[in-house]
Amino acid sequence: MDARHNQNKRDPGRPGTYRGRFAPSPTGPLHFGSLLAATGSFLQARSNRGAWLVRVEDIDPPREVPGAAKNQLETLASFGMFSDEPVVYQSRSSALHESALERLRACGLAFDCACSRRDLPDSGIYPGTCRDSIPPGKTARSVRFRVPSAPVELVDRVFGASSHSLMESCGDFVIRRADGLFAYQLAVVADDIAAGITEIVRGHDLLDSSPRQQLLFQALDAPVPRWLHLPLVVDTGGNKLSKSSGADPVQRARPAGALAVVLQALGHRPPAGLRSLESLWSWAIDHWNPERIPTEPFEI
């Protein structure tokens, strides 16, 4: 049976249908933690009979690795995961990002900033130096988003409710960098709005970004997607797996074995007799329950 056909249980014509996404950065091959995030988002979409999209977040050229995006898409394909719509490349959406920035300027929530990292205190928290105006003799470098004094209340499907005082944790944050590139926080929100994403499923390491992104959704008068963060994958020393730390790439040759381990990391233990990729996906879609997802990191 074609793995793609077997998993493609969705109803794109139903109003209000679920829309999820997986959005890797092309900075290297997918590792086990990336595969876990892709699988979790894929299963949420399939179990909700919704659409699963793939967006390549290629807006930071200095960090990109040539050929990485193609490699990542091929790895997803080897596991039977295919985007339900054409793959989106974030670098081609600059008009969306510019429009979002101008809307924030128009409502007074974006302001020019002359500060460099050297101007910030050791804590890295922006002290509001240019909030009202750029100091005399200084030139605008970046654009920041004006955060409120009130805490941001976040509700996550796995990690529960939390309160975040952005004034204390980061201050007004950059939405357009000094090099002219759009910052991750704004680009990802503008793209999620354009794609109609209804739930964001990703790793716990990005939970810290969610309060900032929630503010941006609200500032742009867009529905805030639901949040579902997945447990981290760590090595035996408790360090998060990442491309920057040299995590081993996913091996495509034996996808069924890797998928079985990912499902266990997500709190779902498939029967031992399931050996094929198709049978594992079929079982996982039928038995998927976000309530089983653990909060503790998974050691590999």
- The residues with which 176 forms a beta bridge, in sequence order, are 143, 182
Token output for 232 = 């981290």
* pTM for the model: 0.91
User: Mean pLDDT score of the chain, rounded to an integer?
Assistant: 91
At 246 the pLDDT is 60
pLDDT digits (tens, 9 = 90+) for 6-20: 444 443 334 459 999
Question: Per-residue pLDDT for 22 more than 70?
Answer: yes
At 183 the pLDDT is 97
pLDDT digits (tens, 9 = 90+) for 114-158: 999 888 888 889 999 999 999 888 899 999 999 999 999 999 999
Helices (H), the chain: 3-7, 32-47, 68-78, 94-106, 166-169, 184-195, 210-219, 255-265, 277-287
Measured CA to CA, the distance from residue 51 to residue 13 in angstroms comes to 10
CATH 3.90.800.10 domain span(s) along the chain: 106-176
pLDDT digits (tens, 9 = 90+) for 283-300: 999 999 999 999 999 888
Contact predicate 234/300, CB 8 Å = yes
User: What is the CB neighbour count within 10 angstroms for residue 206?
Assistant: 17
At 237 the pLDDT is 77
Question: Per-residue pLDDT for 68 more than 60?
Answer: yes
Contacts of 144 (CB under 8 A, 6+ apart): 110, 111, 113, 126, 130, 172, 173, 174, 175
At 249 the pLDDT is 83
Query: What type of residue sits at position 239?
Result: N
Q: Does 3.90.800.10 match the CATH number of domain 106-176? A: yes
CATH class given for the domain over 16-94+191-299: alpha beta
CATH 3.40.50.620 domain span(s) along the chain: 16-94+191-299
Mean pLDDT of 247-255: 82
Contacts of 149 (CB under 8 A, 6+ apart): 167
